[in-house]
Amino acid sequence: MTAVNIIIPVENIAEVKAYYRDIMLFFEDEGEFLLPVEDPPISLQVMAVTWESMQRYPPKKNFPIFAYELEKNFLSYCWVIYQNGGLIDEVFKHEEGYYARVRDPADNVFEISCMSFDDDIDVLEYKKISEALNLVIEPSRLFSSEIKRDTNVIEGKVRMQAPPRGQIILPVDNYDEARMYYRDILSFVEIGELFFLPLEVSSVSIKLKRITEQERRFFPSGKRYMSFSYKIQSNFLSYCLALYKKGAIFDMACETPGGYFARICDPAGNQFEIFCDNFDEDNNEVSSEEMPFFFRY
């Protein structure tokens, strides 16, 4: 398991896995698919859901669930996807770079961006590819994965000179409530409109996206699909206890023969999981008895 996993809900696992492996050309590693970004690795985990749950929480149609950024060769990359049979909704060129919206066979939408116009193709090839992809040229386009390049963070926690390479996009009804939850309770590091996971990883972030009145029918109240997971190295009990005391909404936490895991919700119903393979604790006095949701297998 990589440090960060993005969960992809599907009914037909074989079909969607084949899509990410054979059409998107994501590298498959022990059942997970690695995004084509620089280190650290970020993976997709294709998760089976029932027909009933798909009816209750249908795919979000035009609502992206993750995004990633390429360093260059954007058009060449999209051209390969297109020729492989990729489901590309739209491709744009604007002042900041390129942007594409793509979907998988389960109708999960994701975004690809690139802040560079460098591409290893000639003028004639550029024209052919642009026409085939129906490339639209705009003065500017703000998309879900945007972040300013010169952003820094106070207290020296994270310092970035470039956009994050991978993003997890979460739908929220009340943006201010969700923002305070991820920043003040979960202690995710806020940079602009992005929230970075509490890991030694500066290339993975959370983007909170307000849902519109028209989108609300796709987001009924209650718990939603699992959105992502991340792994911490040690001190799992101390970490979860601190979050619980600050007001984190735990569904469960447990100890297994292979380590620990916890499931948490945010105020909008988005769920995520925390894993830890290590039983080590720096504080020997911490006890799981302080967490009523904790159990052991």
Residue bearing tokens 């054979």:
22
- The H or E element containing residue 208 is strand 204-210
Q: Is 150's pLDDT higher than 50?
A: no
pTM for the model stands at 0.82
Residue 59 · residue 108 · CB < 8 Å: yes
Q: What is the pLDDT of residues 50-67, one digit of tens each?
A: 766 655 555 555 688 899
Q: How many CB atoms lie within 10 A of CB 191?
A: 21
For residue 20, which of 7, 39, 6, 35 has the smallest C-alpha distance?
Answer: 35
Residue 147 confidence (pLDDT): 43
Output the CA–CA distances (angstroms, integers) from residue 9 to 142, 194, 225, in the order listed. 27, 23, 7
Tokens of 236: 């799992």
Residue 254 · residue 296 · CB < 8 Å: yes
**Mean pLDDT within 95-119:** 90
Q: State the number of CA atoms in the 13 A half-sphere of 43 facing the CB.
A: 20
Residue 221 confidence (pLDDT): 64
Q: How many CB atoms lie within 10 A of CB 272?
A: 21
Residue 165 · residue 42 · CB < 8 Å: yes
165: CB partners within 8 A, 6+ apart: 35, 37, 38, 42, 68, 69, 203, 204
Residue 55 confidence (pLDDT): 57
- The H or E element containing residue 10 is strand 4-10
3-class secondary structure for 124-184?
HHHHHHHHHCCCEECCCCCCCCCCCCCCECHHHCCECCCCCCEEEEEEECCHHHHHHHHHH
Q: Is 49's pLDDT higher than 60?
A: yes
**Mean pLDDT within 196-203:** 74
Q: Provide the percentage of residues in the chain whose pLDDT is more than 70.
A: 82
Phi, psi of 13 (to 5 degrees): -65, -45
Q: How confident is the model at residue 161 (pLDDT cuts 50, 70, 90)?
A: very low
Residue 149 confidence (pLDDT): 42
Domain boundary assignment for the chain: 54-225, 232-297
Residue 59 confidence (pLDDT): 55
**Mean pLDDT within 89-103:** 91
Q: Is 151's pLDDT higher than 60?
A: no
Residue 166 · residue 4 · CB < 8 Å: yes
For residue 248, which of 265, 269, 231 has the smallest C-alpha distance?
Answer: 265
**Mean pLDDT within 281-297:** 87
Which CATH number, 2.60.40, 1.25.40, 2.40.50, 3.10.180, labels domain 54-225?
3.10.180
Average pLDDT, rounded, for the chain: 84
296: CB partners within 8 A, 6+ apart: 254, 255
> Which of 87-91, 117-121, 168-172, 194-198 has the lowest average pLDDT?
117-121
* Residue scoring higher pLDDT (50 or 275): 275
End-to-end CA distance of the chain: 21
Residue 120 · residue 70 · CB < 8 Å: no
Tokens of 35: 């995004």
Q: Is 286's pLDDT higher than 80?
A: yes
**Mean pLDDT within 249-264:** 93
